[in-house]
Structure formats: structure tokens, C-alpha cells
Structure 1
Amino acid sequence: MDHLYRTHEYLLRHTRRGLQRSLMEEIDWSQRIIGIRGSRGVGKTTFLLDYARRHYAPTSRECLYINLNQFCFTVDSLGSFVDSFVEQGGRTLLLDQVFKYPNWTEEFKQCYYRHPELRIIFTASAVMNLEEDDPELARLAAIYHLAGFSLREFIQLDSGIALPAVSLEDVMTRPQELVAELARTLNPDLWLDRYLEYGYYPFHLEPRLYSENLLKTLNMTLEVDLLFIKQLEQRLLYKLRKLIYLLAQQPPHTALNVSQLAAAIETSRLTVMNYIRYLADARVLRPVFKQDDSELRRPSQVYLGNPNLYQVLQPEHPDRGEHLRTFVFNQLSKEHDFRLSPRGARSLFEIDGRWLLQIEDSLEGRYRSDRHYALRQGDFTRDKSIPVWLFGFLY
């Protein structure tokens, strides 16, 4: 156990202190089992270490970070390790990459019932469906989702300027006031292009080329999060990669043509729909449904999961409107629902069933009173006209 404590202390002393993510304030830390679910690369490991750094001294024996890919756990059971940890005064275990340990859910439950003084905080891939895979653990655990950086968090990380999050209600009903308040501190529009290129993932701070890191993350998502966790065959990797690329190349507002995609990757329509669901779980793709459609049906449109993915999937001049819509959907997706409006326009969406929102780079044609406009360029003194960057302050 001592070597694990040495690793824990080293990581706390040498891992760069990051921005406190907004999720840190949202979690009920009194829960005894807490799951942090998120897509690959968004900073789940850093989140665990940041929690330890904020609540315990590096040399404290009460808290321990462990990556469950440690070889010792091929022989030693997690349950017996936890028994020893608690016996020596341990109270908080931070467990990373739990899917690397077989039968982890059963041992978590045993630890829960055997050690009421113990808290377990673990990370899980976004594709892991704990609610279906183990309903008992899902009942015992509080599960939270860690999203990638918002535009607000990205600005704070790079500039050190602390900015408040805003509610969607305020964005939709009083955008001019919010813009005026934020303009006293900085001009967020100047940060938007940088965010669209490299702001969603925290590894833009690393010396390696961002696009190479992003490509590695995307491929690891497919090879580990999907093939390993979902138990898909290795031969399907090529089809998944081709499907993502084809969807990224579609012209703006293209309706999803499942038959065409099935022919292109040489599989069935049902398999294409399953792949899209898997990739949506992994946050690589973001399906958009019509307002009255069940999510079990075919989506009307499919966007990339976040705007940075255009760097590796459509690096040469992505359509500006599609890029901005991807940004808005991504920032809304943490807490809000968005659907394609049945009113005909392919860039008109219904948000939380309350607001009609048209998302464009700039508006061609006249303003209509029945909707709000999210624009990169426009007359923001007009009623219901919102600068698109403001959606980046929702969390």
C-alpha cells in the first residue's frame, strides 16, 4: 500500500493545479459513493486529484487516489485492499478507471455495506450505463456528469478572470443586460474563435500539438470506451471511424440518411443506428431529434459532440453556421434539452420546450417576432437577439 501512497503524494505535488470546475460546487459530498462520469479527455482524473488537494494534505493517510489499472489488483482484490485501507485510518478512496477492474460493481457494494465510514469517489466513462448495468449500485451512488470546459471556464483558465455562470432563463430574457455586465470585464467574443479551436479539452495547456492530442483522445474513445467497454469486435473500429468522418463531412442542415450511411460502411440500417447511439453516449456525436420524437427513433440531424472535433474531422474551413450550432448544443447539453423545430427551418430549434431559437453566423433576411436569434454577427440591441458566445456562460 505504501507505493500507492507515494504515487498519490507525487501526483498531488506535481500535477498542475487546475481551475475549480463548476461541478465541484454542485456535488453533494455527503454521499458515500459518488460517480463522476464523462467523456475521455475532459479532466476526470484531474478532478479527483483537485478534490484531494482541496480537502487533504498530500501526506494524509485518510485519502488515497488509485488508478485501477495497477497490476497489483490482478492478484489482490479491491475488497481486501479496502479493508486494510480503512483499518489504517483511510476514509476517502478516489478510484480511477474502474472499468479496468473486473466485477468492480459487486465489490463497491460490499465495501459500502461493510464500511459505513468510507467514502468512494470514482470516475466512469460516459458510455457506461450504470443505471442499467447495476440498478442496486445506481441506487446507492450519486452519479454526476463532468462536461468539457465551457467558454466561461476556458476564459477563466487562460486569463485568471473569474466570471459568473448565468441561467438559460436570463440568457433568453435579458441578454442585453448580461452582455453589458460582462463587457465591463472583457470582450468574450474575442475568445470565441480560440475556444472553438481548442477550448473544450484542458490539454491545450500541454506542450504537444493540440490536434494530435485530440486525435489520440478520439481514437482512444473508440478503441477503449467503445470497443472494450461495450465489448464490440475489433473489426468494427474501421466502420465506426468511417461513419464519424462521413457524418462530419455532410453539408449544412443535412437530414440523416441512414440507408446511405449503411451502404457506405457496408452494414445494416439498424447497425448504423446502434453505432450512432454508442457514439452519442461517448459524446463524439450529438443527435438532434424533432420536438415530438422519441430518442429511440431516428434523429433528424447529427452534429459533432463538441466544436473542437472539427479540427481532426473537418479541418479545412468547416461551415461557420454548423460550427456555431455545435457550440450552442454542446453548451446547452449539460442541463437543457434541444430539439429541431417542426416549423420547417433546419436551423430553428426548440429549447426546453419553451423557446424557439435560430442559430446562425449572421442573419440573412428579416427578423421574426416568434423566435430568438443566436448570432455571431448581428444587431444585438434588437429584442431577442443574443450573441452566440453568451451560451458559453451556462456553466
Structure 2
Amino acid sequence: MEKLFSFQDNLLRNVKSDYKRYLYDAISFSERMIAIKGIRGVGKTTLLLQYLKTQNLNKSLYVTADHPWFYTKNLLDTAEEWHKLGGRLLIIDEVHKYKNWSSEMKNIYDGFPDMQIIFTASSALDIYRGEADLSRRVLSYSLHGLSFREYLIINKIAHCKTYSLSDILENHRAIAAEIMEQIASPLGHFKSYLRHGYLPFGTVKGNEQDYLTRVFQIIDACLAYDLAFINDYSAEHQSKIKKLLGILSETVPYIPNILELATQLQIGRNTLLMLLQHLEQAALINLINKTGKGFSALQKPDKITLENTNFCYALSNVPDEGSMRETFFVNQLRNAGRNVEVSDTADYIIDGKITVEIGGKSKKKKQIKAIDDAFVIKDNIETGIGNVVPLWLFGFLY
């Protein structure tokens, strides 16, 4: 296993622990089997290696499922060999790249009760549905992209704390003033974040076009490899889902006409709805329904946005400014664990009770004036007043 130890040592030498992502402290590392899901490039590997650095390295092993070691070895045999050498922690990166991952993970869990298993997977992977039932064994977490707050920290612009949704809505003037003691002009940094700040490799000093090219490559790899491999796509399905995402990227936020879309793609209604589900599972889009409507696999969504604003810039030369606002808002609220639904009278309803209308600095209140617990969320303003709240503040929820 010398090759695996050497590979691990090389990675650990290059990992920094000066900042840990928001999810790190939320993970219950005492659990025996832990899964961390997320899109490529979101920082899953770094998080695992930061944890590994805190452990006894004589009993801890990191492997990645696409390492050449697994050309001739399987996961179960590797775990058994490592256990015999005294190993008590096995970290497996990119487990979705391993064909029989779920059955072998079950056997590792059941066969070595004194070994902890932590693994990462693509957002597209349904951990609880595989050849083996892991639902009673694994505790699963999702790692999302950077919040605006994290972007400021990583780029050493400001080191701000998180605020709850109720704090932001009720005390936004005081919070904005508090943040602006550290960062005098937040709007410029906010616009940069919308373009190239969602994934940890996008820094203020980097080349924006290089970043967007890499984001496009991540999207393409997710479609061509992750989704195709996990869902066993045919070449035709791969082509259709790429075309579908291309159509959505030009029109989001999109109120879908399912029959029109299906006709355009030359596929059936149910196939289209399945592909939309897969795109959401892969964290490439957000499907949003009207309040109280619920959601099922064969039900059409009421609105579609891309998952984050960086995707908008990577897939479109000149994304619509209004689209950016809604995409950012939905993304940050959902990443913070809030329920976002489409409103009949305004843009969205949060947690079934808070109505919001999103717009630019000239946005009026007429759509919400007769609604209790309603707010206008405005872009391009540093501070608000009353029920008018700056959009950028919602980047401090996590």
C-alpha cells in the first residue's frame, strides 16, 4: 500500500487549514459512516484532508476511487488489508467513480465495526438508492459553493459572521453598518462574487475568464461523466440533457412550458421531467414550485433557475441582470436550508410565510403593499430601510 501512503502524504503537504468551510463544524465526525456530496470543485477533498490532518496518520488512510490502485484492487479488499495493518479510518474520495460502491461500502461497514468510513460523492449520486441499502448506516451532508461571506473571508477582504434570516429582515440596517465597518463598499465585491466567486478556486486576483472556463469544464464533466455514469445514460440522453441545459441557460428564471420543451428536444414529457430532476440532483439547476404544491418526479416545476450565478456567466456571454438577482437569492436561501417557493402575488415565499419581491434599486412596493410579512429585496443599494432590504446581505446566511 506504499503508493497510497505516498499519494496521501503528497496531498497533505499541500493542504491548508487556515480556513475551514461552513460545513466542517456541522459534521458529526463521531459517526461511523459519513457521506459528503457536492459538485466538482466545491472543496470536498480539501475538507476531508483538513479532517485527516487532525487524526492519527498511523491509523488513517485517504484514497480516491479513480486511483490506479483500483485497476487491480477493489474497495473491500483494500479496507481489509488496511484494517489488518491497524487502520481505523478510511477516507474514500469520489466514490461515485467506483462501479459497485454501495454494496462494497455496506460490506466494509458491516465487516469492520471498529473502522470509520468517510466518503465524498457527486451531488448527482443518490446515496440511499443503490445495490445495497445504506440508509440506516450513513449520515449524509451536502457541501454547497461559497456564500458571499465565505468569498470575502477566503480572499482576505473581510471576516464577517453569519446572520439568521430573521436577523437580516428585522435588523438589516444595523447589520449592513456592522459589515461596512470592515468593507466600505460591498457592492463592487458582490458583483465580482456573482461572476466568479462561488467555487473556492475563484479569487479576486485570478483571471475571470480562466475561472469561467474551468466552471464550464466542471458543468460539462458533470453532464458527460457524472450524470451519464450514475444514471447509465445512452449517447442520445447525454446529447439531450446538454441541449436542455443550454436552452435553460438562455432563459432562466424560466417558467417552463413542458410540452414546448419536450417538442424542442424531441423527447417525451416524462423523459423531460426526469432529465430536469437529474439536473437538480446534480446541483446544476433549481426547480421551484408554488407554495403548498409539493413536488413529485412527474410534476412540472413552476420556475427554474440555474443553481448559482457563476453558472449563468459560464453558459451565457451576457446574462440578464434580473436573472442574476433571483438566481443568487434562491441559491443562498436554499443553501442555508430555507424553503423557497414561487408566490402567486410576488416572486417568492420563504418558509411558507415570508413574501419577497426582488428587483433593482427602483423597484416599487405595489406588489406586496397589501401583504403582511412582505419585503422588497433590492439590488444595487448598500443599505435599506423598513421592509426594503439589500440583496447582498443574503450572502451572510451561512
Quickly name the TM-score band, shorter chain normalised. over 0.9
TM (normalized to structure 1)? 0.92
Identity %: 29
**Compared CA separation, residues 349 and 188, structure 1 to 2 (3 A):** same
The answer to which of 67-76 and 229-238 deviates more is: 67-76
Are 2:186 and 1:185 aligned? no
1:380–1:386 CA contact under 8 A, matched in 2: yes
1:245–1:313 CA contact under 8 A, matched in 2: yes
2:291–2:342 CA contact under 8 A, matched in 1: yes
- Aligned AA for 2:302? S
- The match for 1:289 is 289
- The match for 1:137 is 134
- Aligned AA for 2:356? L
- SS of the residue 1:238 aligns to: helix
1:362–1:378 CA contact under 8 A, matched in 2: yes
Q: How far apart, CA to CA, are the structure 2 residues paired with 1:136 and 1:84?
A: 24
2:34–2:118 CA contact under 8 A, matched in 1: yes
1:379–1:385 CA contact under 8 A, matched in 2: no
Aligned-residue offset at 1:123: 0.3
1:258–1:269 CA contact under 8 A, matched in 2: yes
Q: How far apart, CA to CA, are the structure 2 residues paired with 1:353 and 1:183?
A: 31
Q: How far apart, CA to CA, are the structure 2 residues paired with 1:166 and 1:194?
A: 22
- Aligned AA for 1:204? G
Q: How far apart, CA to CA, are the structure 2 residues paired with 1:379 and 1:40?
A: 33
Aligned-residue offset at 1:294: 2.3
Aligned-residue offset at 1:160: 5.8
Q: How far apart, CA to CA, are the structure 1 residues paired with 2:317 and 2:353?
A: 35
Residues 85-125 of structure 1, C-alpha deviations (whole Å, 9 max, x = no match): 12222221110111222322222222222322211110011
- Aligned AA for 2:43? G
2:37–2:140 CA contact under 8 A, matched in 1: yes
In the TM superposition, 1:1-395 aligns within 5 A as 1-15=1-15, 19-53=19-53, 55-56=54-55, 60-133=57-130, 136-159=133-156, 161-186=158-183, 187-205=185-203, 209-250=210-251, 254-296=254-296, 297-316=299-318, 318-334=319-335, 335-343=337-345, 345=346, 348-366=347-365, 368-369=368-369, 370=371, 371-378=374-381, 380-395=383-398
The answer to which of 236-245 and 26-35 deviates more is: 236-245
The answer to which of 358-367 and 237-246 deviates more is: 358-367
2:254–2:305 CA contact under 8 A, matched in 1: no
- Aligned AA for 2:395? G
1:63–1:93 CA contact under 8 A, matched in 2: yes
Q: How far apart, CA to CA, are the structure 2 residues paired with 1:90 and 1:379?
A: 53
- Aligned AA for 1:292? G
The answer to which of 213-222 and 169-178 deviates more is: 169-178
Q: How far apart, CA to CA, are the structure 2 residues paired with 1:253 and 1:118?
A: 46
Residues 336-357 of structure 1, C-alpha deviations (whole Å, 9 max, x = no match): 11011122x4xx2100112001
- SS of the residue 1:227 aligns to: helix
- Aligned AA for 2:380? Q
1:36–1:143 CA contact under 8 A, matched in 2: yes
- SS of the residue 1:294 aligns to: coil
Aligned-residue offset at 1:226: 0.8
Unpaired stretches in structure 2, ≥5 consecutive residues: none
1:35–1:121 CA contact under 8 A, matched in 2: yes
Residues 230-260 of structure 1, C-alpha deviations (whole Å, 9 max, x = no match): 111122222212111111222x764211111
Residues 57-105 of structure 1, C-alpha deviations (whole Å, 9 max, x = no match): 7xx2222110111233233232222122122222211101112223222
Aligned-residue offset at 1:333: 1.1
Q: How far apart, CA to CA, are the structure 1 residues paired with 2:133 and 2:94?
A: 20
- Aligned AA for 2:355? L
2:196–2:202 CA contact under 8 A, matched in 1: yes
Q: How far apart, CA to CA, are the structure 1 residues paired with 2:156 and 2:146?
A: 14
Aligned-residue offset at 1:18: 6.5
Q: How far apart, CA to CA, are the structure 2 residues paired with 1:290 and 1:322?
A: 18
Q: How far apart, CA to CA, are the structure 2 residues paired with 1:357 and 1:387?
A: 12
Q: How far apart, CA to CA, are the structure 2 residues paired with 1:294 and 1:381?
A: 33
1:126–1:281 CA contact under 8 A, matched in 2: yes
Unpaired stretches in structure 1, ≥5 consecutive residues: none
Q: How far apart, CA to CA, are the structure 1 residues paired with 2:222 and 2:120?
A: 15
2:384–2:390 CA contact under 8 A, matched in 1: no
- Aligned AA for 1:173? E
The answer to which of 212-221 and 371-380 deviates more is: 371-380
Aligned-residue offset at 1:358: 0.9
- Aligned AA for 2:360? D
**Compared CA separation, residues 243 and 374, structure 1 to 2 (3 A):** same
